[in-house]
Amino acid sequence: MTNSTHKGTKRLAMQTVRLAVAVPQVVSIRMARMALSGPNPTSRDRTEFQRMGAEKLEAFGESWNAMAWQMLRANQALTLSMMRSWWSPWFGGQPSLASAMQQAQGAALGVLGAGMAPVSRRARANAKRLGKSIIWS
């Protein structure tokens, strides 16, 4: 595993852990808020409930966009690598299966990381924001 692939793996693992910690906090606070508001939520509660849906759609869109751009960059890099391997008999150097596999793994990690970043960022921000608020006010 190359150093950059190792860094990508660590970064993705950290994003996953942060997301796994933030999501239950956000869900529990919002569910408690829903339960306490009952059939007549306050305007603050209605705003928060509306925000829940809007944020999910925004994060989903950002995630797909980031993944698409990362995939475009990865495809360009893989195409360039393939072109180099075709020309390697004339310009020296031998393409290796190991380097191709590392490049593919790095590309996959990059796409996953790009897709998780917006979701993770929003979940952590929500946990921080909602953790400061009093849910029964």
What would the DSSP string read from start to end of 41-97? --HHHHHHHHHHHHHHHHHHHHHHHHHHHHHHHHHHHHHHHHHHHHHHHHH-----H
Q: Identify the residue with better confidence: 77 or 137.
A: 77
pTM exceeds 0.85 for this model: no
pLDDT band with cut points at 50, 70 and 90 for residue 24: very high
54 occurs within a structural domain: no
Taking the C-alpha atoms of residue 5 and residue 102, their distance in angstroms, rounded to an integer, is 7
How many structural domains are present in the chain? 1
Per-residue pLDDT at 115: 93
50 occurs within a structural domain: no
Domain that holds residue 74: 3-35+59-86+97-132
91 occurs within a structural domain: no
74 occurs within a structural domain: yes
103-126 residue pLDDT tens: 888 899 999 999 999 999 999 999
42 occurs within a structural domain: no
Residue 92's region, left for phi above 0, alpha for psi from -120 to 50, else beta, is left
pLDDT band with cut points at 50, 70 and 90 for residue 134: low
113 occurs within a structural domain: yes
